[in-house]
Structure formats: C-alpha cells, structure tokens
C-alpha cells in the first residue's frame, strides 16, 4: 500500500480523534510551539464529560482550550516538564503541577514510566514523499512519546517548518493511528526581545570578555542570554559553534552576522545542534530546511557526556537567586513557582567536563520586590524558605552580576562569601557581611 493511501485511511476529524480519550487517561500534548490546537479545541468540547484526565506538556505558548472550560480542576491535571507564565496561572488555580527533572533524562522517563501513555497528540509538518512527518522545532523527547504511546494522533499544520536533523525528529505514517488536518495556523511565537537594559549590557560585556574564537555556545532563555548573544554578534569573535538545548533568536542573529561556522566543534562539526526551538517567526523561517541546523533528541543534546566531548564549551544561563554558599535557584522564589530546571544543570555539568569549558550563571544584582515595595538583593545569605536549588554549590562555576564575576570552583565557604559579596550591589554588602559572620563563613582577617 502506498503512503498516500495509508494517509487517507487514517485521516479523521479532530472530534473523532478526541473520542480516543477516556476517563483516567494519560495524554501527551507535545511541547512548546507545537502544542496541538485543532485536537485541543475538540478535546475541550469533550472535557466537561470526562474526569481524571492527566496531561503532559511544557512551556505553553498559548493557553489551551481545555484550560478554559468551567472548573478545569474537576476534570484534568496538567503535568508540566517546564513552567511558563500560563502554567503558573494554572498552578495557582490548582490544576497544574511541575515535574522536577533534568531535561536530558526526558526520553528515558517515557520508556521507564509506570504511568501509561494512552494518547499522544503531536503537531507535525505535512507528510513527505517517503511517508514521514516532521516534528518541526520540537524534536526534544517526542520520539520517545511516539514509541511509548498506545495511540498516536498527528495534527498536520502546513505552517510547520521542516527542521532537518536526526531520525528522532520524524514519525512515519506506519507509526501513526490517526491524522488530523484542515487547518493552517502560524506557530506560536515569542515577541522580539526588548532592548537590553544597562545591567544586561554590563553583564554581557563581562561574559563576552571570557570567550575565545572557536568556542561552542549554549544560551539559555531570557533577556540576559539574548543580550549576550547580541553582544557576541557585534564582537570580533569568529568561528563559533552552537550546541544548545533551546535554539533562540540570538543564534539567528549570530548566524547572519557570520559568527557561526562550527569548524572547531569536536563532534557534529559544522552543525548547529539543538533539542528544540522557540522564538519569533523569523527564527522558524531560518530553521526551515536549513541544512546547517541539526535537531536532535534532548537525550543526546543535553547529556553531559555529549557536551563533555566538545572542547571550549560555553554555557550561559540565568537564575533567580544565588546564596553565599554558591547555591543557585532558577525555579522558584520561595514557595512561588516560576520556572523549571530544564537543562540548566545538564549544561553546567557538561561545560565543566569540557576541555577549556566554562559555565556562566548571569543575574542582575538586585530586583524590585513589588510586594515589599523596595529593592532586594539577588545574592542572599541563604536561599529563602521554599526556594528550589537548581544547581548545587558543588556544581556552580562562574556567577556574574553587573559588578563582576565570581568563580565558585575550588573555593571554600569564606572565599565564596567574600567573592559573592564583592559582586553584590554595594547597598547590600554590609548586611551580607553581617549575615556571613553569623553563618561562620566570614574570616576576621578579611573583614572591612
């Protein structure tokens, strides 16, 4: 039987596909920009008659229709691999929860899970002449989703870019149970990054000074990593490589500035390797059929053993708070859940294992506490109660604020305290010294 005949036999309406869902089922909703839409709308129509539906997904870029039903908490539970703003609101309403994990391990979680995956809804590109659909910018862990789901429904979106890469970014018609089509919608996109603040520029300047020609970059999500990417694009650096969890707009800018060749990468030479991408429409256009960009499983991209094979690997991420021990929180502020661990620890570990590698955790020295109505330090004596330790003190390397860089590796508690207080905002340094004394991590010999 030819592929087109198989396609037509499996073609159903979104409403028909939604009928697969039964009470108590575990459902997968894909990832980031490729979260399903047509099937979501159809499932939202059924959801009021269902109960105990457990869904997995992450970094929602639009609010699913299933969230908009009356009393969603009575019908569904959203289990997120990585929180964003939409999921924070759902968590506050009691029906969204976070799965704490290292992102590199996501595929194995599916293979080893004792929770069944009953139905997977996956947004894909149109089928090619060989019977393959492409996961677009969401390779990530979706191959594992397909291989473990009892039923696989692909939602075809003609606007989906075809992102070239490994076999992990494809699903064949023979592996699909149902095909849904009949809509063409632009992928969810982030707005263009705003202008970098003066603090962002100062931090970027400090980090860029530490980079060398031929190094390989990973940039995290957020304004500060984007500011660093922009500054690299405007620098004299050349022959850089890309090996990153998330492909972001700053990397498009770097590519168009001629900074990326990958000629010195010790694996995947010449390729820009990534696990998923999310950004502006310009980013999706850049990735579409681009042979220099390689989408691969997060189990490969984020594995510290993979990263360690790349010489001069540079990991650049941001955080919420850092304490005087060097513990880094990038997930919560006290009990307020903000984000997820993602692959931050994967890259912190991998960068240090790389020959010549470095990891940078970039933060502004202060933030405005709206509840308290005053400025607070991001460098704290200890993390506040409830704050999650994303990167332990043993794993931290360079911590950067607009006031300087502090290297945590091989430093004792008093050295860490001294160095971190030295890059804290001046208005908080005396208070931090007093706290460090009470914590017995401040030597009398270095007291001012």
Residue 154 shares a structural domain with residue 224? no
Tell me, what's the pLDDT at 289?
A: 98
Q: What is the pLDDT of residue 448?
A: 63
Q: CATH number, domain at 341?
A: 3.40.1080.20
166 and 253 belong to one structural domain = no
Is there a single domain that holds both residue 350 and residue 427?
yes
Do 174 and 214 fall into the same domain? no
Tell me what pLDDT residue 191 has: 83
Assess if residue 190 is contained within a domain: no
Q: 138: which DSSP letter?
A: -
Walking along the chain (448 residues) 10 residues at a time, the average pLDDT comes out as: 94 98 97 95 97 96 97 97 91 92 94 95 97 98 98 97 98 98 87 84 94 95 80 94 96 95 97 96 97 98 98 95 95 81 91 97 91 90 91 95 97 96 97 96 80
Q: How far apart are CA 176 and CA 173, in angstroms?
A: 5
Residue-wise DSSP of 141-163: THHHHHHH-SEEEEEE-TT----
Contact 297, 205 (CB under 8 A): no
Which of 121, 149, 180 terminates a domain? The answer is 180
Question: Do both 137 and 202 map to the same domain?
Answer: no
Residue 43, class by beta-carbon neighbours within 10 Å (0-12 exposed, 13-18 middle, 19+ buried)? buried
Instruction: Indicate whether 157 and 240 sit together in one domain.
Output: no
The 3 state secondary structure assigned to 161-215 is CCCCECHHHEEEHHHCCEEECCCCCCCCCCCCCCCCCHHHHHHHHHHHCCCCCCC
Q: Are residue 267 and residue 397 in the same domain, yes or no?
A: yes
Looking at the fold, whether 202 and 116 belong to one and the same domain comes out as no
Residue 33 to residue 27: CA distance in whole angstroms: 17
- If one counts the domains in the chain, the total is 2
Structural tokens at position 194: 């705003």
**Cα distance between residue 343 and residue 3, in whole Å:** 37
Structural domain contains residue 185: no
The CATH number of the domain where 10 resides is what?
Answer: 3.40.1080.10
Range of the domain at 47: 3-180
| Chain center to CA of 166 | 20
User: Do 314 and 275 sit in the same domain of this protein?
Assistant: yes
Task: Report yes or no on 320 lying in a domain.
Answer: yes
Q: Residue 378: its pLDDT value, please?
A: 97
Q: Residue 188 falls within a domain, yes or no?
A: no
DSSP annotation of 383 reads: P
Evaluate whether residue 234 is within a structural domain.
yes
379-396 burial, b for 16+ CB within 10 Å, e for fewer? bbbebbeebbbbbebebb
230 shares its domain with 138: no
Tell me: do 163 and 210 sit in the same domain.
Answer: no
Whether residue 140 is contained in a domain is answered as yes
186 occurs within a structural domain: no
List 245, 331, 402, 435, catalytic entry: 245
Q: Are 268 and 142 contained in the same domain?
A: no
259 φ/ψ angles, rounded to the nearest 5 degrees: -85, -20
Does some domain include residue 161? yes
Examine the residue annotation and report whether 402 is marked as an active-site residue of this protein: no
């Amino acid at each position: 039987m030819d592929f087109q005949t198989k396609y037509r036999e499996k073609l159903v309406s979104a409403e028909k596909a939604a009928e697969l869902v039964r009470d108590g089922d575990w459902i997968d909703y894909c990832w980031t920009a490729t979260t399903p839409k047509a099937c979501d709308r159809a499932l939202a129509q059924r959801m009021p008659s269902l109960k105990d539906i457990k869904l997995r997904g992450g970094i929602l870029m639009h609010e699913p229709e299933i969230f908009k039903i009356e009393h969603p908490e009575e019908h569904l539970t959203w289990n997120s691999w990585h929180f964003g703003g939409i999921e924070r609101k759902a968590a506050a309403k009691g029906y969204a929860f976070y799965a704490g994990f290292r992102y590199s391990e996501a595929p194995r979680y599916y293979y080893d899970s004792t929770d069944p995956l009953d139905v997977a809804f996956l947004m894909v590109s149109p089928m090619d002449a060989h019977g393959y659909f492409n996961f677009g910018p969401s390779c990530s862990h979706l191959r594992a989703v397909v291989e473990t789901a009892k039923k696989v429904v692909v939602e075809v979106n003609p606007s989906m870019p075809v992102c070239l890469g490994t076999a992990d970014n494809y699903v064949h018609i023979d592996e699909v149970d149902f095909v849904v089509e009949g809509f063409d919608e632009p992928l969810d996109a982030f707005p263009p990054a705003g202008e970098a603040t003066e603090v962002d520029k100062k931090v970027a300047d400090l980090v860029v000074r530490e980079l060398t020609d031929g190094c390989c970059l990973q940039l995290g999500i957020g304004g500060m990593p984007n500011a660093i990417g922009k500054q690299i694009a405007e620098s004299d650096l050349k022959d850089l490589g890309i090996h990153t969890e998330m492909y972001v707009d700053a990397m498009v800018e770097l590519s168009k500035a001629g900074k990326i060749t990958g000629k010195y990468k010790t694996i995947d030479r010449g390729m820009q390797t990534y696990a998923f991408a999310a950004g502006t429409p310009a980013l999706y256009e850049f990735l579409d059929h681009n042979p220099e960009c390689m989408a691969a499983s997060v189990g490969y991209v984020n594995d510290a053993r993979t990263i360690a094979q790349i010489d001069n690997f540079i990991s650049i991420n941001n955080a919420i708070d850092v304490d005087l021990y060097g513990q880094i929180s990038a997930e919560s502020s006290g009990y307020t859940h903000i984000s997820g661990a993602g692959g931050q620890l994967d890259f912190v570990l991998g960068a240090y294992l790389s020959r010549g590698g470095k990891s940078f955790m970039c933060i502004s020295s202060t933030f405005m506490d709206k509840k308290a109505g005053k400025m607070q330090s991001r460098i704290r004596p200890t993390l506040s109660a409830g704050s999650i330790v994303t990167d332990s003190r043993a794993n931290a390397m360079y911590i950067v604020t607009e006031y300087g860089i502090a290297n945590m590796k091989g430093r004792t508690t008093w050295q860490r305290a001294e160095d971190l207080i030295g890059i804290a905002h001046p208005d908080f340094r005396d208070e931090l010294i007093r706290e460090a004394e009470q914590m017995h991590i401040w030597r009398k010999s270095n007291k001012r």
